[in-house]
Amino acid sequence: MTFLLRRGLFYLITLWAAITANFLLPRLLPGDPVQAMITKLGGRLNSDAMASLYILFGLDEKKSIWEQYVDYWGALARGDLGLSFTFFPTPVADVLSQSLPWTLGLVGVTTIIAFLLGTLLGVYAGWKRGSWMDNLIPVTTFLSSIPYFWLGLIAISVFSVTFPLLPASGGYAAGLVPEWSGEFIGSVLEHAVLPGITIVVSSVAGWILGMRNMMVTVTAEDYVLVARAKGLSQKRIMFAYAARNAVLPSISGFALSLGFIVGGALLVEMVFSYPGLGYVLFQGIGAKDYPLMQGVFLVITLAVLVANLLADIGYLLLDPRTRREG
């Protein structure tokens, strides 16, 4: 249990650091972009909305930084992230709660698929080291060197423009109303194919390479040799002995690189105008919508931390050493 407790504490500290960075950034950096926005919107802001923007971006200079910090936490505790300028006058929290499920669905599912697929291929490539599988390395390297968003552009160009097979943008067909109907769900799946494949293709290579190298290292260990000497079947040695041990670093790597992968996935959403957080962030950049951008950052950080915690639990289930610790 100590392991999970330590990790939990670490995530709390990380969350605190992210929130504090969010608090400090607009106060440290020069210029007052939010003030400019408020002036532009003029009388259309009501006094409550004004007050929360003042709290979030430190426009009230009469207050000490410490008072501002306390007020800031107070606002967060109420779920008040200010008003979005882009989707004026919708509160940021509402915009995020509408787009979060899309991101969780698309990025969550594709990341897990990429991890499982890449790990399996990596196990096989590492086991068959020295065979034709080695030729996969340069190919996967090339694929992993392509920016996610550019692969998305190519995918659109080929499968939507040149051969109009799949939709290029949006989360579902225009004119449909979100509901639990076969037609709507079908449309959602159809729209998820291209962005999903893009994310899987560009992130799978990293897992293949990492897992292959771990397998190569592990298969040289004595316990694998012993398993061979015992005359166990190849399949059993490959999975129960080698892969079982090789996958552990892969899982901790998974947790740590999640932030990076999610960043790439957000870009795919931008390219496909997919109604998730990435697209919202993209719209926010264009409009210099700081409340929205900061809200997206906080929600993504929170999601990544939760995913990390889940990966830790997975690690715990696979590694007897951490289990015994508790």
Partner 1 sequence: MNFKTKLGLGILAFFTLIAVIGSWIAPYDPSAMGDDLLSPPSGAHWFGTTMTGQDIFSQVLVGTRGVMVVGLVCGVLATFLSILVGVTAGFLGGAADEALSMLSNVFLVIPALPLIIIVASMLPSADTVLIAAVISLTAWAWGARVLRAQTMSLRRRDFVEAARASGESTWRIIVFEVLPNLMAVIASGFVGTVIFAVMLQITLSFVGVVSLSTWNWGTILFWAQSNQALGQGAWWWFVPAGLCIALLGTALALINFGIDEYANPRLRKVRA
**What's at 186, amino acid-wise?**
G
CA 49, CA 18: separation in Å to the nearest integer?
Answer: 24
- Cis peptide before 89, with omega less than 30 degrees from 0? yes
Nearer to partner 1, 15 or 184 (CB): 15
> Helix axis angle, 244-271 relative to 277-286, nearest 10°?
40
Nearer to partner 1, 17 or 112 (CB): 17
Name beta bridge partners: 258. Answer: none
Nearer to partner 1, 83 or 262 (CB): 262
Name beta bridge partners: 91. Answer: 83
Q: Write down the least CB distance from residue 181 to partner 1, Å.
A: 30
Nearer to partner 1, 44 or 129 (CB): 129
Tokens 């599912």 belong to which residue?
A: 109
Q: Write down the least CB distance from residue 148 to partner 1, Å.
A: 8
Q: Write down the least CB distance from residue 67 to partner 1, Å.
A: 23
Residues that bind partner 1 (CB under 8 A): 10-11, 13-14, 17-18, 21-22, 25-26, 29-31, 33, 129-130, 134, 137-138, 141-142, 144-147, 149-150, 153-154, 156-157, 161-162, 168, 213, 216-217, 220, 255-256, 258-260, 262-264, 266-267, 270-271, 281-282, 285-286, 288, 290, 293-294, 296-297, 300-301, 304-305, 308
CA 231, CA 32: separation in Å to the nearest integer?
Answer: 71
Q: Name the DSSP class of 137.
A: H
* Residues 71/54, Cβ–Cβ less than 8 Å: no
Q: Write down the least CB distance from residue 216 to partner 1, Å.
A: 6
**Gyration radius (Cα) of the chain, Å:** 24
* Residues 125/246, Cβ–Cβ less than 8 Å: no
| Token code pair at residue 45 | 């802001």
Nearer to partner 1, 238 or 277 (CB): 277
Q: Write down the least CB distance from residue 106 to partner 1, Å.
A: 16
Length of the chain: 326
Nearer to partner 1, 43 or 283 (CB): 283
Q: Write down the least CB distance from residue 34 to partner 1, Å.
A: 10
